[in-house]
Structure 1
Amino acid sequence: MSVENSTAARDDQEEPHPTQSLDDTVHQRVRLGILTIAREADRVEFSFLKKQLAVTDGNLSRHLKVLEESKLITVEKGYAGRRPRTWIALTPEGAQALDAELRALRALVLRLETPRPASGPPDT
């Protein structure tokens, strides 16, 4: 059975391909990193994210703006002593979006790890 025929057979029996459930806002590498790190803590400091994700200030700021405008995170500015700080926290919507992204990724991995049925005689 060709890949095309195998895919067509799967499509007749299954839901849409798992990649259709990936959210472009969440799925981007840096933004996914921000959301997952923020999930691990009540709030996370800008410089910690910058170091963990190996990005520049400007690059991180741009990704934070996208996530904040999408209401997936909150950004809080303040001071620790006399030093200005920026903290990021996951919103309930952000937690839901991250959960949906992880479900889609798990479905994709499961699809790839599930053995294909034995192929029959070639199509003619």
Structure 2
Amino acid sequence: MTEAHFDELIHPSTRLSLVATLAAADWAEFAFLKERLGLSDSALSKQLATLEEAGYIVTERRLEGRRRRVYARLTSTGRDAFNGHVAALRTIVAGAVEPADSPAKP
């Protein structure tokens, strides 16, 4: 079971969306991430660099035909951080939900 840990690095919505997308894939190509997240090249590059610097992702440049393509994937550290962050968010949300049998307050 993953230990709940709120992760300030992952929490900003752009990074959370990026890490969530990578959590669902083995490798993801830069153009796919850019389109999926609606980011510019520079914005996505910055987010990838921040996560790579923290050890949460790795990137790889592959030559495909005549083009170099950038791929990214989560590291085990990144996956653990993401799972811990999701667990922390679930704990926060669970504490805010009113029990079904409690009377509604005016």
* TM-score calculated relative to the size of structure 2: 0.86
Rounded to whole Å, the distance in 1 between the matches of 2:8 and 2:55 is 14
State the 1:22 CA deviation.
Answer: 2.1
1:86 to 70, 76, 87: 70
Task: State the distance in 1 between where 2:98 and 2:92 align.
Answer: 10
Partner Cα separation in structure 2 for residue 39 and residue 103 of structure 1: 14
AA aligned to 2:10 is V
| 1:20-49 deviation line (CA, Å, top 9, x unaligned) | x42111111111111111111110000110
SS in structure 2 of the partner of residue 24 of structure 1: coil
1:102 is paired with a residue of what secondary structure? helix
Cα distance in 2, alignment partners of residues 28 and 79 from structure 1: 32
Mapped pair 1:26 → 2:10: yes
Partner SS state of residue 77, structure 2: helix
Structure 1 residue ranges without an equivalent (≥5): 1-17, 119-124
Q: Does 1:70 align with 2:54?
A: yes
1:49 aligns with 2:51: no
> Where does structure 1 differ by over 6 angstroms across 4 or more consecutive aligned residues?
none
Deviation at 1:61, TM superposition (A): 0.5
2:22 corresponds to which residue? 38
- Greater length-normalized contact order (CA 8 Å, ≥ 6 residues apart): 2
* AA of the residue aligned to 1:51: E
What's the counterpart of residue 58 of structure 1?
42
Deviation at 1:114, TM superposition (A): 3.7
Work out whether 1:103 is the aligned partner of 2:65: no
| Percentage of identical aligned residues | 35
Q: CA deviation at 1:106?
A: 0.5
| Greater radius of gyration (CA) | 1
2:55 and 2:43 map into 1 onto residues whose CA distance is 19
